[in-house]
Amino acid sequence: MSGNDTTTLRWLLKKMRIRNDEQVNLIIFLQLYSLFLQPLTFFFSSEFLETMEDEVILLDFWPSMFGSRVRIALAEKGVKYEYKEEDLVNNKKSDLLLQMNPVHKTIPVLVHNGKPICESSIIVQYIDEVWKDKAPLLPSDPYQRAQAKFWVDYIDKKVNSPGRKTWCTKGEEQEAGKKEFVEIMKTLEEQLGEKPYFGGETFGFVDICLITYYCWFYSYEKFGKFSLEAECPKLIEWAKRCAQKESVFKTLPDEKKVFGFCIEMRKMFGLD
């Protein structure tokens, strides 16, 4: 409070017939308020709250198709986050990962304002619910939502194991893995039908959960000796369509880099 303010205030209090000693108490109180308490009200102002950002951390591993799902979802929503790479090649899981996901000890883990969310399809749903003002990923109709969840669950149950067999095994096991993988891709292609995306007109939950395998197709095809484009042309068309989206092409690692990773892993497993 300035000297002028104090003078004016004393005049006012005198006019209100407030006793001198009470005037002094009041003025001291108001001076303390303006010094200490009033500045704190800034932190409750919308101006401050808008500039205060959520703290979002992603624990991930660069080739993981599960981690990529989360990165695409965050990109779709325009959420800023800190990326932390886990050294899974050398099986050196960080203390933070073990603390945030004690049950499964796997990536990805999203840490939002200190609270962990695990399992990629659950994380994507969480992202869709929290940052709901932009780019909805799940449909609003409950039946369509259930259909989307059904197909993400199908992808989660079915794709990874045979996909992995195509590059990580040999002989009969590899052959069986390849056949199963192509069957599953054909089922998904049939489900896509004539729609531009699994979500219909717009890129959504099912698209995100499947497209992250796209950068692995090259490796599956090279090691498994087949062409997915020949087997499922419409699905590859869909994949190329999705890959034109900024959130996708900025997220997915280069397929040749993934291929190099597979070569390294095969050596480690004694396959080559």
Partner 1 sequence: MSKGEVVVLDFWVSPFCMRVKIALEEKGVEYEGREEDLFGGKSELLLKSNPIYQKVPVLLHNGKPLCESTTIVSYIDEVWPSPPLLPPCAYGRAQARFWADFIDKKVFDAVGKIWRSKGKVAESAKEEFLEILKQLEGALGEKDYFGGDSFGFVDVIAIPLTSWFHAVEKFGGFKVEDECPKFSAWMKKCMQKESVAKIIPDPEKVYEFVIMMRKMQGIE
Chain residues in the site for partner 1 (CB under 8 A): 103, 112, 115, 117-119, 122-123, 125-126, 129-130, 142-143, 145-146, 149-150, 153-154, 187
Shortest distance, CB of residue 154 to partner 1, whole angstroms?
A: 7
Q: Which is nearer to partner 1, 114 or 270 (CB)?
A: 114
Task: Select 156 or 231, whichever has its Cβ closest to partner 1.
Answer: 156
Backbone φ and ψ of 188, nearest 5°: -65, -40
Taking the complex as a whole, how short is the minimal distance between the CB of residue 77 and partner 1, in angstroms? 13
- The least CB distance from residue 143 to partner 1, in Å, is 6
Nearest alpha-carbon partner for 253 in 218, 221, 226:
218
* Closest CB to partner 1 among residues 60, 119: 119
Q: Phi, psi at residue 103, to the nearest 5°?
A: -75, -50
Cα angle: 36, vertex 39, 40; to 5 degrees: 90
Per the CB < 8 A criterion, the answer to whether 235 and 189 are in contact is yes
User: Which residue lies nearer to partner 1 by CB, 59 or 248?
Assistant: 59
Least CB distance from residue 40 to partner 1, whole Å? Answer: 27
> Strand runs (DSSP E) across the chain, as ranges?
56-60, 82-85, 109-112, 115-118
To partner 1, the closest distance from the beta carbon of 219 in angstroms equals 26
Which residue in 266, 256, 147, 133 sits closest to 200, CA to CA? 147
Q: Which CB, 10 or 149, lies closer to partner 1?
A: 149
Rounded CA Rg of the chain = 28
